[in-house]
């Protein structure tokens, strides 16, 4: 825990990536093929590193789907790795994050407050996935970027929220707010598009090739990002 403070972001994300990369390296093709089918039409040559999306965020979302969302034979990729690769050196590191992985989820969020000094951004869940639980992400770089232009406060954001749980529960020092992080990608949408986006999301969700509602969100919002996605204003 000594390495994880409110300025944790790079270390925390790097450790998650290190653990999950081992699982991806082991079961790459086994899971990637199913994910390609679910997402529809990313251009690829069978290698996860060469799947092409229009933006880095879309590519990161696809990888996030493979690592933390998709189930093949009722197992997520990290669950399979923990079960079958019991002697791997990454197992202790990966085990630390299991409670956070199991309680992570994607949704469309609206900023309600920001603490620029501490790098904490507070959100309301537009889709109601979290059933009213106030959440916050700790990301000093993102907080500073949002603060550069007041218009940025109005953007809607779609991302995976990974809460600080298990070994990292001590980072949650506010009983009313669950703190956590994103998994390295965010889709940004203008607030005036909210009704249109939600309407189209519901239509798309009914057509995607998976049954889980959480999987439907991730796939549908990747398509919505292609049509409505925006970038934060840097000045």
Q: Smallest Cα–Cα separation from 141: which of 13, 17, 7, 16? A: 7
Indicate whether 14 and 43 sit together in one domain.
yes
Residue at 192 is within a domain: yes
User: Does residue 233 fall inside a structural domain?
Assistant: no
153 and 131 within one domain: yes
Do both 52 and 111 map to the same domain? no
**Structural domain total, the chain:** 2
- Let me know whether 68 and 93 are in one domain: yes
Last residue of a domain, one of 101, 131, 148: 101
* Residue 235 belongs to some domain of the structure: no
Is residue 4 included in any domain, yes or no? no
Do 223 and 111 share a structural domain? yes
Q: Above 60 in pLDDT, residue 59?
A: yes
Q: How far is CA 82 from CA 66, 100, 157, 177, 226, in A?
A: 16, 15, 32, 30, 35
192 and 140 belong to one structural domain? yes
Phi and psi at residue 134, in whole multiples of 5°?
Answer: -75, 135
Mean pLDDT of the chain: 87
Torsion of Cα atoms, 63 then 66 then 67 then 73, to 10°: -170
pLDDT in tens, 16-27: 888 899 999 998
- Is residue 18 in some structural domain? yes
What is each CA distance from 121 to 126, 155, 181, 230, in whole angstroms? 15, 13, 10, 19
Domain of residue 137, residue span: 105-228
If asked whether residues 82 and 170 sit together in one domain, one would say: no
Residues 142-192 pLDDT 10s: 999 999 888 999 999 999 999 998 888 777 777 789 999 999 899 999 999
Q: pLDDT tens across 83-124, in order?
A: 999 999 999 989 999 999 999 999 999 999 999 998 899 999
- Which residues neighbour 47 within 8 Å (Cβ) at sequence distance 6 or greater? 28
Q: Who contacts 3 (Cβ-Cβ below 8 Å, separation ≥6)?
A: 11
Is the domain of 78 the same as that of 119?
A: no
Query: What are 43's strand-pairing partners?
Result: 52
- Assess if residue 40 is contained within a domain: yes
Domain annotation covers residue 1: no
Same domain, 76 and 150: no
93 and 110 assigned to the same domain: no
Q: Of 84, 101, 118, which residue sits at a domain end?
A: 101
Q: What is the CATH number of the domain that holds 158?
A: 2.40.50.700
Per-range mean pLDDT, top range of 9-13, 42-46, 139-143, 192-196: 192-196
DSSP assignment string, 176-217: TEEEEE--S--EEE-GGGHHHHHHHHHHHHTTSS---HHHHH
Report the predicted TM-score, pTM, of the whole model to 2 decimal places.
0.89
| Residues 122 and 214 both lie in one domain | yes
Residue 3 lies in a domain: no
If one compares 43 and 170, the residue with the highest pLDDT of the two is 170
Whole-angstrom distance, CA of residue 182 vs CA of residue 195: 24
Q: Assess whether 55 and 124 both reside in one domain.
A: no
Among 83, 101, 119, where does a domain finish?
A: 101
Residue 94: CA count within 13 A, CB half-sphere: 24
């Amino acid at each position: 825990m000594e390495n994880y403070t409110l300025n944790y972001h790079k270390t925390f994300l790097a450790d998650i990536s290190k653990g999950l990369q081992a699982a991806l390296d082991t079961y790459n093709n086994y899971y990637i093929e199913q994910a390609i089918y679910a997402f529809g039409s990313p251009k690829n040559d069978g290698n996860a590193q060469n799947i092409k999306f229009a933006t880095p965020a879309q590519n990161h979302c696809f990888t996030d789907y493979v690592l933390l969302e998709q189930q093949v034979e009722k197992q997520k990729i990290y669950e399979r790795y923990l079960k079958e690769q019991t002697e791997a050196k990454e197992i202790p590191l990966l085990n630390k994050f299991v409670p956070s992985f199991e309680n992570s989820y994607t949704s469309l969020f609206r900023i309600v407050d920001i603490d620029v000094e501490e790098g904490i951004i507070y959100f309301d869940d537009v889709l109601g996935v979290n059933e009213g639980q106030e959440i916050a992400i700790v990301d000093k770089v993102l907080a500073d970027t949002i603060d550069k232009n007041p218009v940025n406060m109005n953007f809607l954001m779609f991302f995976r929220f990974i809460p600080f749980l298990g070994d990292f529960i001590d980072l949650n020092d506010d009983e009313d707010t669950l703190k956590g992080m994103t998994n390295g990608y965010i889709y940004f949408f203008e607030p005036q598009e909210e009704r249109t986006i939600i309407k189209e999301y519901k239509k798309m969700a009914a057509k995607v090739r998976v049954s889980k509602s959480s999987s439907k969100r991730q796939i549908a919002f990747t398509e919505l990002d292609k049509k409505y996605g925006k970038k934060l204003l840097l000045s």
